[in-house]
Structure 1
Amino acid sequence: MLKRNIFLLMVFMVLISCNQSKTSEVTQADDNWKKQFDQRLPLLGHRNWIVIADKAFPEQNAAGMEVINTNENSLTVLKYVLQQVNSSGHVKPIIYRDKELEFITEAQAKGVESFRTESEKLLNIGKTLESKPQTILHDSVFAKLDQASRLFKIVVLKTNETIPYSSVFVQLDCSYWNAEKEKQLRAKMNNQK
């Protein structure tokens, strides 16, 4: 009887561990989302993504995607993420926004005008972005995320925002190396052949 109970317990433990190895990891909402994000940021680099997602952002089956439920409003999360990324020293943000957001009216989504105004202020804090945020169609952003998630980590910070197309997509780039330096390096290498 004891052997049977031990066997059943072992089978149960294996089933639980298999069930927990989902393709995308979801961290429950709590007061520690900032701490969780701060622990991940030093590990993120060139070609990783951070998504400040609205409430309806879908959980994905992408292996490289991790979801952290912030239980905060979008602007609070956006401000914190930009401050942390801009002060990280190793990465800089390339911002994408949904083109659809520009066309939503206040009658369609209460608070959208205020959201656009406040988010624009945050995205232009101290002119810390090298380039203006890019607006592209929502499906185009998802295509970029799908491609990136095959090789690189994507951290999704899910918010309580209920304004459609309000997610902000941050592609990380190297802050201490740029396209011009890369071009010079490749030219030098080609000249050595």
Structure 2
Amino acid sequence: MFKKLLIVLVFGSTIILSGCQNYSIKTTENLAQGWKEQLNQKLPLLGHRNWILVVDKAFPEQNAPGMDYIYVNESLLPVLKEVLTQVNSSAHVKPIVYQDKELGFITESQAKGVKEFVLGAKTIFGTQKVETMPHDSVFKKLDTESKLFKVLVIKTNETIPYTSVFLQLDCAYWNGDKEKALRDAIKAGN
């Protein structure tokens, strides 16, 4: 009995002490590269009907089990640009872009930098179609979606309200017209 207790104490102490090793502190550059690498690793796992959100600092952490979070200590626009670059470079998904409808009604006197943000976002989107929806509708949609599909939330340090961007992932190599033709062929085959 004493021998078993001694073995447990020695083994337990080894585990505790190994947890106290001195690890190097990550630099800001390593952290910046870290989130990009995390996105790069997660993107191949995401597909049609998954979401990637690039959100402002006030965006709440939610209890939904399907939501994963990455914090990025950067402004929203450079993060958005990187996320869209990675998504648009993938062979399997393409983004359907949503923004809060409220953003179009905020004035510079209400939120300093909003005009510059809107222009910067338009530059990043280029010719990409951007849908708008009321902010509360986004939460309702995400509540439903996160029950079945993963939602990756990339939280930035942006403090301009209603600047979050919501990317619903769609299949890049199959579209609605092809799906309709397939369903019509299946129906005709019955």
Aligned to 2:134: 137
Give the alignment partner of residue 163 of structure 1, picking from 153, 160, 164: 160
Q: Which runs of 5+ in 2 are unaligned?
A: 16-29
Structure 2 residue matching 1:95: 3-state secondary structure: strand
Give the alignment partner of residue 65 of structure 1, picking from 67, 70, 73: 67
Aligned to 2:150: 153
Shift of residue 3 of structure 1? Answer: 4.5
Give the alignment partner of residue 174 of structure 1, picking from 160, 164, 171: 171
Q: Which runs of 5+ in 1 are unaligned?
A: 14-28
Give the alignment partner of residue 113 of structure 1, picking from 112, 115, 122: 115
Distance 1:68 1:54 in 2: 12
Distance 1:138 1:185 in 2: 35
1:33 and 2:35 correspond: yes
Q: C-alpha deviations, 1:57-84, integer Å up to 9, x for none?
A: 0000010100000111100100001111
Structure 1 residue matching 2:65: 3-state secondary structure: coil
Aligned to 1:25: none
**Which residues in structure 2 correspond to 1:41-56 (within 5 Å)?**
41-56=43-58
Distance 2:5 2:79 in 1: 52
RMSD, aligned CA: 2.0
Aligned to 1:22: none
Structure 1 residue matching 2:31: 3-state secondary structure: coil
Distance 2:97 2:44 in 1: 19
Shift of residue 30 of structure 1? Answer: 2.5
Aligned to 1:19: none
Q: Percent identity?
A: 57
Aligned to 1:123: 125
Distance 1:3 1:99 in 2: 64
Q: C-alpha deviations, 1:101-142, integer Å up to 9, x for none?
A: 001111110000000011011011xx3x3xx10011001111
**Structure 1 counterpart of 2:62, which letter?**
Q
**Structure 1 counterpart of 2:156, which letter?**
T
Distance 1:112 1:96 in 2: 17
Structure 1 segments (4+ residues) deviating >6 Å: none
TM value normalised by structure 1 = 0.83
Distance 1:54 1:138 in 2: 13
